[in-house]
Amino acid sequence: MRIEHVALWSHDIERLRHYYERYFGATASLRYENPGKQFQSYFLSFASGARLELMQHPDLAPRPSDPGTKSSGYAHLAVSVGSEARVSELTEQLRRAGYPVVDGPRRTGDGYFESVVLDPDGNRIELTV
């Protein structure tokens, strides 16, 4: 078995698509639209074969205002960027572009080198080697 894809709800899938294409090299499918269900989505593909689905619907509940709030469900998306230097470079690039850096870059107690940043919707992304 393998995980086929991970999906995120968003109020603005165009903004998220642009973010993942620009900073993570994702390639977007054509936008899917189901007018009857008022649903739109993109599948983003990454060089590794991983896929992320961005989904939009007008009836989404508001997101908690504090992205640090812990609740059951989605915790973070971990993206391997290849090296410690690249973790640091991408973290700084995102910081300069105005995206929040929640933590790091740092070495964790279990030996990972990582940072945690937020995408435009406040989803946590763990950048790691």
Q: Show the tokens assigned to 69.
A: 């709030």
Q: Of 59, 55, 70, whose CA–CA distance to 6 is shortest?
A: 55
Query: Would you kindly state where each structural domain of the chain is located, as residue ranges?
Result: 1-59, 75-129
Residue tagged 């790691």 (tokens): 128
Work out whether the CA dihedral 36, 21, 4, 101 comes out positive or negative.
negative
CATH of the domain spanning 75-129, picked from 3.10.180.10, 3.30.360.10, 3.40.50.620, 3.30.565.10: 3.10.180.10
Q: Show the tokens assigned to 7.
A: 């999906």
State the alpha helices, DSSP H only, in 1-129. 13-24, 84-96
- The verdict on domain 1-59 having CATH code 3.10.180.10 is yes
Residues 7-51 pLDDT 10s: 999 999 999 999 999 999 999 999 999 999 999 999 999 999 999
- Does position 113 have pLDDT exceeding 90, yes or no? yes
Give the whole-number percent of the chain exceeding pLDDT 70: 91
pLDDT of residue 73: 64
| Number of CB atoms found within 10 A of residue 17's CB | 19
Indicate the pTM of the whole model.
Answer: 0.84
